[in-house]
Homo-oligomer: A and B are copies of this chain.
């Protein structure tokens, strides 16, 4: 069994952003030399996300508005409710909806994706550098 590990760094100046990181993962896979196996891609932070969806501008804008409706930034006044936790609490909740990690099949030396699958880094509390872990095991 071969094993590969790499940290990818993201520096998002705005509070929130979605970054298509698929090309970076293709480089990692090439570097790993692994042709059959599984790749784990996870954010190492609790206010960010790694998820797979379509790279379509309207969709990414809708994610932004939709997540703000599901888990609003504080202070919120809807129904008289507000959070107990810290100022970035909404970022923890938004990341939970979008997910911490993806697992991707590696087949014949490539990321085994459907036609529209793209891997995104989702930042919900930007302004500092954060890491994504890429771990690939296989042969």
A residues near B, CB below 8 A?
Answer: 1, 3, 5, 36-38, 40, 42-46, 51-54, 56, 58-59, 61-63, 65-66, 69-71, 81, 83-86, 89, 92-93, 95-105, 107, 112-117, 131, 133, 135, 137-139
Contacts and interface: CB of A to CB of B under 8 A. Distances in A.
24 contacts: A1-B1, A3-B138, A38-B40, A40-B105, A42-B105, A43-B114, A45-B114, A46-B52, A46-B53, A46-B54, A46-B114, A53-B92, A58-B85, A58-B89, A59-B85, A59-B89, A62-B92, A63-B93, A63-B96, A69-B81, A96-B98, A96-B99, A107-B135, A114-B131
Contacts of A84: 58, 61-62, 65
Contacts of A85: 56, 58-59, 61-62
